[in-house]
Amino acid sequence: MVTVVGAGFAGVEAAWACASRGVPVRLVEMRPQKTTPAHTSPWFAELVCSNSLKSKAPTSPAGLLKIEMEGLGSVVIQTAREHEVPGGEALCVDRNAFGEALTKKVSSHPLIQTVQEEWSPSDEGPLIIATGPLSTDPVAQWLARLTGRERLYFYDAVSPTVEASSIDTTIAFGASRYGKGADDYLNCPFDREEYFAFVRELVKAERVPLHAFEAGGVREGGGAAPVEDFIEKVKYFSGCMPIEVIAERGERSLAFGNFKPVGLTDPRSGRRPFAALQLRPENRERTLYSLVACQNRLRFGEQKRVFRMVPGLQNAEFVRYGVIHRNTYLDAPRCLDPWLRLTARPEIQVAGQLTGVEGYVESAAMGIWAGIAAAWNLQGKTAPLPPRSTAFGSLLAHLSDNTEREFAPMNVNWGLLPEPDPRQRDKSQRKAAKLDAARLGFEEWFRALESAPVSAS
């Protein structure tokens, strides 16, 4: 028997994956008795915001992930397709019908016993913790104790990430400050005019409104607590402040802070630039770069518009936008193994957004993988890992990549899928080659999983 805590996107998939392999499950969910600040319904896997499960096009990374999930028996994607509403290329659902149907399906599985209560940390293993970005305090504190306080994050303060191939390297140059260290960073040099034009647009760009619970609770008489409270909390937990707030404090504050150009020489001019935005590799293969110290709360369209004003980023393809929001997740590369087990306590697995993926579908995918791994584990076997070329393998590669960086949650995207060998210069051929490799990898993985089917009791 496996206990799965949390019947969100990851929890239902983990329970379903175990039960489908003959493993009995106890699925503990606290709602509706107790709820999180974002959930409002009694249903499992509630879509707390958008009703979109992103692209269903098989030629997109999100579509590829769905195909792999369906191959592994995903209950979320199957139910979503049954309750789809028109949404163009995106798989959008009728959120109530989806939630109700999924809850019934999962609860009526003969091997899944659902328990409606708040789970309090205990050592009854084997356990899969899938309590999500708004895990209750006792669970978060318990995880912090098991992994080390500095390995559990309470807020995302994420800078945008772009595809390496979309950076103009005739402008952005590789260098570390004062020539110390390898040329790990790419530097986007601003001249005076470019800098002030950027700052002007940055401070007036439209921002995402704050959720009341992020702001630290609702004030007496209604309304969210002031944004300053939120900023103080983010600073406290992650040492970060939104870049637009820093820019607001003085038109040169970025040139003296986040974008200070000291120790850098632009090879085109042979001089120090007026300011420089640094780009740091986001993965071992250097297919992704993040914009250093550009955490922000601008609307996504505004981020694209404003950050494309940065010299060298005029054609940047954004794979993730900056966010600052409440989110509980682990520093996966430093405390999880590829089977999503805590390295400190291998009988405990983590699934969903807690692992450091981002999004409904990615969280569900990490639930499936945790469930499969648990089922194998119960038979004393180790589940074969997905090949690196697959969407599952790419997400796991993100979770285990211990490159020096601020680990931040990631959705599935082109940059995570490995570059084809030999390298393709043409963008559409490159994408096609990535998809082909993923399909072959998935077939091979699927055969390996099926060749030694598990069934435990």
Ligand X SMILES: Cc1cc2nc3c(=O)[nH]c(=O)nc-3n(C[C@H](O)[C@H](O)[C@H](O)COP(=O)(O)OP(=O)(O)OC[C@H]3O[C@@H](n4cnc5c(N)ncnc54)[C@H](O)[C@@H]3O)c2cc1C
Q: Which residues bind ligand X (CB under 6 A)?
A: 5-11, 28-31, 36, 38-39, 48-50, 118-119, 130-136, 139, 211, 352-354, 358-360, 363
Read off the tokens for 248.
């607001």
The least distance separating ligand X from the CB of residue 383, rounded to whole angstroms, comes to 20
Q: Which two tokens stand for residue 310?
A: 């940065």
CA 276 to chain CA mean position, Å: 27
Signed CA dihedral, 437, 439, 442, 447: sign only? negative
- Give whole-number Cα distances, 140 to 147, 151, 199, 211, 370, in Å: 10, 11, 38, 20, 19
52 residue type, one letter: S
Q: Which is nearer to ligand X, 266 or 331 (CB)?
A: 331
Pick between residue 116 and residue 176 the one whose CB is nearest to ligand X: 116
Rounded to the nearest 10°, the torsion over CA 386, 391, 396, 398 is 150
3-state secondary structure of 72: coil
**How many Cα atoms are found within 13 Å in the side-chain-facing hemisphere of 303?**
25
Closest distance to ligand X from the beta carbon of 360 (Å): 4
The helix (run of H) or strand (run of E) holding residue 196 is helix 192-204
Are the CB atoms for 22 and 58 separated by under 8 Å? no
Contact criterion met (CB below 8 Å) for 451 and 444: no
Q: How far is the CB of 143 from ligand X (least distance, A)?
A: 11
Nearest partner of 377 among 355, 348, 402, 399, judged by Cα: 348
Beta carbon nearer to ligand X, 198 or 329: 329
Nearest to 152 by CA among 11, 366, 332: 332
DSSP-assigned beta bridge partners for residue 59: none
Record the tokens describing residue 231, joined without a space.
């900023």
- Whether the ω angle into residue 311 lies within 30 degrees of 0, i.e. cis, is no
Give the residue among 146, 167, 199 at the shortest CA–CA distance from 331. Answer: 146
Rounded to whole angstroms, the Cα distance separating 328 from 156 reads 8
